[in-house]
Amino acid sequence: MLNRLEAIQASAEAELAAVTNEVELQAWKVRHLGRSAPLGEVLDGLRSLAKDERPAVGKRSNEVKARLEAAFGARQEVLEARDLQRSLLEDRLDVTLPGRPPAAGRLHPATQTLRQIFAIWAEMGFQIYRSPDVESDEFNFELLNIPAHHPARDMWDTFYTTTPGVLLRTHTSPGQIRVMRERAPEPIRVILPGMCYRYEQTDASHEAQFNQVEGLAVGAGITFADLKGTLTSFARRMFGDQVRTRFRADHFPFTEPSADMSVECFLCGGQGCGVCKQTGWLEILGCGMVHPTVLRNGGYDPERFSGFAFGMGTERITMLKHRIDDIRAFWANDLRFLEQF
């Protein structure tokens, strides 16, 4: 048995010296160090040997195995070093080739629209005022002339927190009360952008979160004509000098009178198409004169002051401008959609 071990070692070492690549090396390992290799058969047959032979054969078997494993490792290092040297000599880097620049990031389409809106209102003398996303029931509803159990609350599907009276704002209108209380009795011209949250069934035209831009102007002698002229000027800056606007009566608890404003469809020129539902008009915002109760809650005397307010959804405007038919695309983080902008 000892003679057989010597023969196994000699044969394996001779074959290993002839190995020239990694594939042959792994095949050698299976043949000489695997369970079915001749050395493995010797180890498995130790129990069938006489007791006086087992120690010597077992010791020599382990020595042969260790010798072959060491030889395998040494040969593997030689082959890896040879392959590396060959790669360095043959696979040289051509420094004259142009580099591959990293892909540049882009602003989100909703952010692009927000920045355009900010720039327009800044030119018209409106400041940006930020208000918190987490609001109280008092600011979100009651101070805006929407008391508890008022049917108008059904218009807003609200996310309430575990703290009584604390919620995620359903619109940016609570910021009206905050800015009025900070600045009364000074005149105000501000826009209040921010994220709004509503517990709605998500579909192509509804999302649980969306951006909104609120606007507020308060001062002495402000009329509905000021509201109409200001919003018409905004529409022309946003959609082009020739765009026409239309105001229709609407209802909001915090404005009186109230209206919605539409612009002439900039895709079909008012002729009627699928985007404007054949009407020739696209509704972009709601507006109205600030309700006297809201003015009073903000610290202004409605006998001396008046004001107007408006609110627009930036995703809706972006959808109209770019013919996007699913609002969920804004938050899906699909690069195929985002890279178009």
The token duo for 36 is 């079915």
For the stretch 257-266, pLDDT in tens is 999 999 888 7
Please name the fold of domain 109-338. Answer: BirA Bifunctional Protein; domain 2 (3.30.930)
Using 50, 70 and 90 to split pLDDT, how confident is the model at 148?
Answer: confident
The token duo for 99 is 């580099």
Neighbours of 273 (CB within 10 A): 15
Pairing of strands 127-128, 188-197: parallel
Q: Does residue 94 or residue 216 have the better pLDDT?
A: 216
Q: Which residues pair with 249 in a beta bridge?
A: 259
For the stretch 53-98, pLDDT in tens is 767 766 777 777 788 788 888 888 888 888 888 887 777 777 787 8
Q: Domain extents for the chain?
A: 2-90, 109-338
pLDDT (0 to 100) of residue 91? 73
Percent of residues, the chain, with pLDDT higher than 90: 44
Q: How many angstroms separate the CA atoms of 272 and 173, rounded?
A: 33
Q: How many angstroms separate the CA atoms of 114 and 73, rounded?
A: 63
The reported pTM is 0.67
